[in-house]
Amino acid sequence: MAAPLAPPRDFAIPEPGSTTARDVLSRALSRLLSELPGAARDAGLARVIRVALGSHAGAVASIARRPHVATLVRCLRAGADEALAIELTTLLYLELALAGALAAPVTLPRFPRRIVSLTARAAVTVPDDAERLTVTPDELVLHRRGSDVHLRLESLSEVAEAPYHAITPTIELALADNNPLALHEAHPDKSGNAVDLGGRPVSEWTRSLASALEVIGEQLPELRAEIDLYVQQIVPVGWDAERHLSASYQEAIGTVYLSLHPSPMTLAEALVHEASHNKLNALFELDDVLENADAPLYGSPIRPDPRPLRGILLAVHAFLPVARLYERMLGTNHPLAGSAAFAERFARIREINHEGAGVLLAHARPTDVGRGLLDEIQRWGAHYT
């Protein structure tokens, strides 16, 4: 049995050499791995996964870490959903085959009409007249009336849709997304997170996001390494020269939704913000953090609607490393840090953190793990006062 999770000391702003965020993600993955055999409620698949866990444990762990798989597993915790279970079953057989961990072909009488795989960097739209689907160790076979279509797994992105575009060696711009919650939106100023390039070319998206990530890496290398650890895909949700939008979901650890913006600082801030949400969402997989996380509601420093303390914690935890990014850029005389707008934004971020931390420290009832997080927030709050 794993040792209890220790209260984190540096979960918002990592210290040099920190393994805190890595340890949390590893534990969250262990939880998900334990759920994997039963998630799709398919006895045959459960047996295949258990065998693979014995012979290809690393490969199965890599499959479980992928957001297009893990998101469905977490969504199925809420209860039976036949369509999600069918999609997950199909994906898991495909992912096992891609990983070399599927020993024999499997024919599926039920399957989704669209199969999205970040691992294969492909999306397959199954024809309406397909009656069965077979996953073999080497192929995906679509059994159509009168003929079969054989798709080689090693070249799936060449014969099917290729919706993934590299931003960095570990992060993709994803033009396909199978998160069933993507259009569910809690923010009053948004209406979901449908894939939308906003009329801008893919090259502009990848170049702009890579540049923003470079700024983070120059100033906060430890946090930049954590972004690589947590974030696997960025889903574009439009372009706007004035307003910027971004989102994350607790179920979709590994995925960030954001709009494109002409300001590299706005993009860098959004990436730090949403990556921090991914980290905290992984912690919520392991611990309640706050005993009164979801009720009652309190005024938020960044939202017009009253928020539970969980939401305020998400905001403060994300804005602390953003404040650190601004502070470091001022300290290094970064070219982006010389404007009055930069100084005004830094002041506003500190104000948000001060207000949010005040609400948390006055009202939150933390667990032991949560106490470590609040101590860190209080410590950095004093730094910026």
Position 152 pLDDT exceeds 90: yes
How close are the terminal C-alpha atoms of the chain, in Å? Answer: 42
Q: Is residue 113 part of a domain?
A: yes
Q: What percent of the chain has pLDDT over 70?
A: 97
Residues 39, 150, single domain; the answer is yes
Residue 9 has pLDDT above 60, yes or no: yes
Residue at 6 is within a domain: no
Which of 80, 144, 134, 138 is CA-nearest to residue 110? 134
Same domain? 47 vs 177: no
**248 lies in the same domain as 331:** no
Q: Based on the domain organization, do 150 and 180 belong to the same domain?
A: no
Contact (CB, 8 A) for 35 and 73: yes
Q: What pTM, to 2 d.p., does this model score?
A: 0.95
Q: What percent of the chain has pLDDT over 90?
A: 90
Section 139-160 average pLDDT: 95
Q: How confident is the model at residue 156 (pLDDT cuts 50, 70, 90)?
A: very high
Decide which of 2 and 350 is more confident. Answer: 350
Per the domain annotation, does 10 fall within a domain? no
Can the peptide bond before residue 296 be classed as cis, meaning omega within 30 degrees of 0? yes
pLDDT at residue 186, as a whole number? 53
Domain that holds residue 174: 163-267
Q: Looking at the domain assignment, is residue 260 inside a domain?
A: yes
Task: Determine the pLDDT at residue 190.
Answer: 53
- Of 115, 136, 159, which residue constitutes the final position of a domain? 159
**Are 27 and 136 members of one domain?**
yes
Residue 185: pLDDT band (50, 70, 90) is: low
Q: Which of 102, 137, 159 is the last residue of a domain?
A: 159
The single-letter DSSP state of residue 334 is -
Number of folded domains in the chain? 3
Asked if residue 262 has pLDDT above 80, the reply is yes
Distance from CA of residue 286 to its chain's centroid?
A: 16
Return the pLDDT at 304: 78
What would the mean pLDDT of 88-116 be, rounded to a whole number? Answer: 97
Are 143 and 172 found together in one domain?
no
Residue 8 included in any domain: no
Would you say 88 and 69 are in contact if contact means Cβ atoms under 8 Å apart? yes
Domain end (from 267, 299, 333): 267
Do 155 and 25 lie in one domain? The reply is yes
- The answer to whether residues 149 and 40 belong to one domain is yes
15 within a domain of the structure (yes/no): no
Residues 168 and 90 in one domain: no
Are 129 and 168 members of one domain?
A: no
Confidence of residue 299 (pLDDT cuts 50, 70, 90): confident
Using the structure block, give the residue that is written with the tokens 């893919």: 202
With a cut of 80, say whether residue 171 has pLDDT above it.
yes
- How far is CA 371 from each of CA 130, 289, 290, 323, rounded to the nearest angstrom? 54, 8, 9, 21
Regarding predicted confidence, which is higher, 78 or 272? 272
User: Is the pLDDT reported for residue 123 higher than 70?
Assistant: yes
Tell me the pLDDT band of 145, cut-offs 50, 70 and 90: confident
- Specify if 5 maps to a domain: no
Mean pLDDT of the chain: 95
Q: Is the pLDDT of residue 1 over 80?
A: no
How far apart are alpha carbons 310 and 315 in whole angstroms? 9
Tens digits of per-residue pLDDT, 303-361?
A: 778 899 999 999 999 999 999 999 999 999 999 999 999 999 999 999 999 999 999 99
- Assess whether 150 and 167 both reside in one domain: no
- 113 against 80, higher pLDDT: 113
Query: In this structure, are residues 183 and 196 in contact, taking their beta carbons and an 8 Å threshold?
Result: no
Q: Which of 270, 372, 255, 335 is nearest to 10 (CA)?
A: 372
Flag whether 211 is in a domain.
yes
On whether both 94 and 54 belong to a single domain, the answer is: yes
